[in-house]
Amino acid sequence: MEFNKKITCSLAQRGIGIENAGHVKVCNLSTHIFKDANGDPYRIDQTNLRDIWNNNVTRKEINDSLDKGERHENCQLCWDAVLINSAIALAKKPILMATSFKNAVIAGRQSFLAGRMKKSFNASASSPESGLI
Ligand code: SF4
């Protein structure tokens, strides 16, 4: 999704998030963890915080995208949450809209649990043929 305006996020500019395993990210909603020049993930218990802070490749990428009004894949969760929040908050009937999102999530999960039919290249009748007038 692309927008035609500059977007700023204070966490993208100055934030640091820590995962349970000690990996470091720009914020706790980020999907990308910071890595060193060898591609190894930084761990807060093994790396000097200044070294982590000065590794701004991921941070720069994210901020460059935001400056261009583009959605960086690192921020997918956050943007989805903002869009859903706006859809609910700005709806004419917010509670009804929130309920519809809830029902959509339940429907998706139920259809996943129900399982898909097997692939078939031939059509076959699935309606009962007995007991009809
Ligand atoms: S995920 Fe959200 S809060 Fe985190 S850096 Fe991206 S836009 Fe900012």
Does the C-beta of 7 come closer than 6 Å to ligand 1?
A: no
Fill in the amino acid letter for 62: I
d(C-alpha 62, C-alpha 78), whole Å: 13
- Pick the most confident of 8-22, 97-111, 112-126: 97-111
* Dist. CA 29 → ligand 1 center (Å): 6
Q: Specify the residue with its C-alpha closest to ligand 1, atom 6.
A: 75
- Count, residues in the chain: 133
pTM of the model: 0.61
d(C-alpha 106, C-alpha 100), whole Å: 10
The answer to whether the beta carbons of residues 29 and 80 sit under 8 Å apart is no
Phi, then psi, of 24 in degrees rounded to 5: -110, 135
Mean pLDDT computed over 67-74: 87
